Structure 1
Amino acid sequence: MFKKDPVSGVAISLATALGDDPFYRSLVVDDEDDAGTRLAVLARYFEQSIREGRDIGQVRQADDDGCAVWITSRDTERVRAAREKKLAALGRLLGPVGFANYRSMTANMERQLPPLIAESAWYLSIMGVARARQGQGLGGRLLASTLAEADSHGVMCYLETFNPRSVPFYARLGFATAKEAVEPLTRAGYQVMVRAAR
């Protein structure tokens, strides 16, 4: 069963670094009064997302200090199967409200994607660095090889961020804001950022 799987150190680092993000906070509302349980559930969420990235994309990891999870596969059947597997796991992991929030938020955000994003685009699903390692260039190093590969294939990349402080970081890597939106469940603003192949 999913909950008995060991949780990697990097998943814990992601949960600690990204736990205040409105999207991720909304996944653990069922455990609102227990900080330890919230962290554990969120770490397991990230572990499942890393598994998804390994199935249908790429995962770049710096030991337990940071991780970038990309969805790069354009094999629709494989992507569908990986998404169903993740949904089944999240249905067991998240509480009923958190799981409903996940379904609602991802559907809302998908509807907000600008039409300029090509179907072949690579999606940066998760990017996080442990708090103690932030500001040391690790994030850029985690993204560099996949961005170089996207450039060599002539592929567009995109991401969504709720954190306005991350916008300049992504801009330095060639991403530009394509759309600003508000996620209706959380009422939090976020940006869709796009990077054309260089």
Structure 2
Amino acid sequence: MGVAIRRAGAADREDVIRLLDAALVHDPVSSWVFPEEGHRLRTHRALMGAFLDIALDEGYVDVTEDGAAAALWWSVPAGPHGDDAGAEDGPALLRRAVDPGNERVEVIGRLTEAIHPTDRAHEYLHLIAVRPDRQGEGLGTALVTAVLDRCDRDGLHAYLEASNARSRDLYARLGFTFMGTTLDLPDGPPMWPMWRAPRV
């Protein structure tokens, strides 16, 4: 039996934020951004909300019909990004909105921007989350595969940064290839930039 997937909208906002927070609050990267657990438990939800709002506004969000899993995507054109004269500084704005005293909110945005490929148009998987009690059922794989099938049909590449070794291995099984150099967060965990060419 297949997994039913739909496009999320503004009406899904609170449910998706709750899901992202529950699924990712103990992720190695989230733990690096908010190293003090009590502060993370209070503030992580705001960061997930900010990411979701950006995706709803500038990208797209897919959810399983039962709301147990969600993926935040962007369609990224080829060419430099974020260099427009007068453009607002995204990482700084995010830090100001979410946790002004925490420079790591801004640092991670700058580091991921710096390694993001610019030479080819691609679909960018920014975040994916599966409710903790539903992990291991293939929901995340179904969400990613739905977009990858479209990438294959349309000749599009795909990109992501895996935040832990388990997800890196899962993405490798889906055709993503490690790009060769980890993004090592200062005094923190590695992230694995991964690229997938369309399958003909």
Change (3 A) 1:187 1:71: same
Residues 1:107 and 1:59: Cα distance change in structure 2 (over 3 Å): same
- Provide the rounded CA distance (Å) in 2 between the counterparts of 1:71 and 1:188: 24
Superposition deviation, residue 84 in structure 1: 5.3
**Residue pairs, 1:139-154, within 5 angstroms:** 139-154=140-155
Q: What is the TM-score when the length of structure 2 is the normalising length? A: 0.77
1:158 maps onto 2:159 in alignment: yes
**Partner residue, 1:190:** 191
Q: Is this contact kept in 1: 2:76–2:124, CA < 8 A? A: no
Residue pairs, 1:49-64, within 5 angstroms: 49-62=51-64, 63-64=66-67
The alignment yields a C-alpha RMSD, in angstroms, of 3.1
Q: Which residue of 2 aligns with 1:44?
A: 46
**1:118-172: CA deviation from partner (whole Å, max 9, x where unpaired):** 3412211001111111100100111222212222221110111121011221122
Aligned to 1:8: 14
Letter in 2 for 1:70: W
- 1:184 to partner: Cα distance: 3.7
Amino acid at match of 2:111: N
1:165-184: CA deviations, max 9, x gaps?
11221122111111232424
Q: Which runs of 5+ in 2 are unaligned?
A: 1-11
Instruction: Tell me: CA distance 1:194–1:142, structure 2 relative to 1, closer, same or farther (3 Å).
Output: same
Contact 2:91–2:107 at 8 Å: present in 1 too? no
Aligned counterpart in structure 2 of residue 22 of structure 1, from 22, 28, 44: 28
Counterpart position of 2:127: 126
Q: Is the 8 A contact 2:50 2:98 kept in 1?
A: no
- Give structure 1 regions of 4+ aligned residues with deviation exceeding 4 angstroms: 78-87
Give the alignment's TM-score, normalised by structure 1: 0.77
* Residues in 2 aligned to 1:60 and 1:82: alpha-carbon distance in whole angstroms: 28
The equivalent of 1:179 in structure 2 is: 180
Which one-letter code corresponds to 2:75 in the other structure?
Answer: T
- For each residue in 1:63-101, what CA deviation from the matched residue of structure 2 results, as whole angstroms up to 9, or x when unmatched? 44211101114398x97799757853541221412xx21
2:166 partner amino acid: R
CA shift in 2, pair 1:55/1:119, >3 Å: farther
Aligned residues: 185
Point out the more displaced range, 150-159 or 183-192.
183-192
> Percentage identity across aligned positions?
26
Q: 2:96 aligns with which of 70, 78, 91?
A: 91
Quote the Cα distance in structure 1 between the aligned partners of 2:87 and 2:20. Answer: 21
Q: Would the alpha carbon gap of residues 189 and 73 (structure 1) be closer, same or farther in structure 2, given more than 3 Å must change?
A: closer
2:114 alignment counterpart: 111
Structure 1 unaligned regions, length at least 5: 1-5
Q: Which structure shows the higher helix fraction?
A: 1
Aligned to 2:180, what secondary structure does the other structure show?
strand
